[in-house]
Structures are given as C-alpha cells and as structure tokens.
Amino acid sequence: CIIHDGYDKMIEIRFNSGGEKVDKIIRYHFVFYGRVQGVGFRYMAQRIARMHHLTGRVKNMPDGSVDMEAQGKDSDIWETIRLLRSDQYIRIDNFTVEVMNVCEAEKDFLR
C-alpha cells in the first residue's frame, strides 16, 4: 500500500499475512530551515526522538539551519517531525530529506 504522508513524500506501508502493519527500520537525513535555532529545536527533537525510541543526532549548522539524522520506525520518525512542526516556538519553513543506510550500532539520539 503506497500512501502520501502529508509531507510531499510517498511511503510504503506493508502488512504481514495477519493483516498487521509492518513498520521497517529506516534512517533519514533532514535539514530544516526557518526559525529553528535559538528556540529549543535540538532539545525538543532529542526529547521526542527518545520518546519514540529513535536513534540519531541533531545539530545546529553555521548557516542557521538544523541538521538531523533519525533512525527507527518510519511512522515514529514522521510523528517526530509532525510534533516538531506543531511546537509554538519552532517554525519550519522548509526541509530536505534523504534516505540513508541504517546504522546498526547506534544506540541513542544525541544533540
């Protein structure tokens, strides 16, 4: 089943033989633009990511953007993005996203 997730991205949802959703582990690299520095973005991203059992990292970039890698269940990653976008202080005007290779040894989400 291919659906649009609301973020101009197509995702594939797979179901097992029992009809239960199968959510594979994936890793994304994001770059966020907007009011994303000096507003608690990294703290919030880390808190939400850990709450959703994601691994990865988030850091401020010299150009004012925020760079983030997130690994975990696809639905948990996109829920993290949704929650970041709904924060009253953070304003994400635009972001880029690309799929990366999964890092099996990673155990935490760092800022």
**Active site residues per annotation:** 42, 60
Write the DSSP symbol of residue 76.
H
Helix (H) or strand (E) holding 3: strand 2-4
Residues 6+ apart with CB under 8 A from 53: 72, 73, 76
Q: What is the largest CA-CA distance in the chain?
A: 49
Q: What letter represents residue 39's amino acid?
A: V
Q: What is the DSSP letter of 64?
A: S
